[in-house]
Amino acid sequence: MKNILARISMTLLLVSFTVSTVNAAECADTTSLVAGGSSGAICSSAAFTSGANTTINGNVSAKAAVTLGATSHVSGPVTAGAGFTSGDSAVVDGSVTAKAAYTSGANSVVKGNVTAAGNIVLGANSRIIGSVHSGTGVITYGAGATVGKVLK
């Protein structure tokens, strides 16, 4: 019985190591993406900034701030180790988590939840389809901006 449990434990350890290795290989350590560029998932060891009209097919995770240029599109969740800022008409198909402030440009859309440790500032006509939580309790709405639900 001990041998069987030991083999099962070793197999689980190897499977878990293989999965984490594959995920790390699929995520590029990138600090910037040029205007009009496209990329797969981003795992920045610092801040991450994308130029205008960029496309990211996967999640974005940065140890510091995340800034998305105007009309950028992210197909996945975004995690910022500091603040999050999006330019006008940026779209995130996933949730956004920021360890500081969250600021969106006009006409931006987040199709998920937004959680920020700092203030949340929504540009004119921007939309958050999911729930919103500001660690400071401060949410500023630009003209026509909407959110699904505000969490305390």
The model's pLDDT over 14-64, given as tens digits with 9 standing for 90+, comes to 333 333 333 444 788 999 999 999 999 999 999 999 999 999 999 999 999
Q: Where are the domains of the chain?
A: 28-150
Using CA atoms of 123, 151, 65, 52 in order, give the dihedral in degrees to the nearest 10.
-30
Q: What is the pTM of this model?
A: 0.83
pLDDT for res 152: 84
Q: Quick count: other Cβ atoms within 10 Å of Cβ 8?
A: 10
pLDDT for res 5: 44
Name the amino acid, one letter, at 4: I
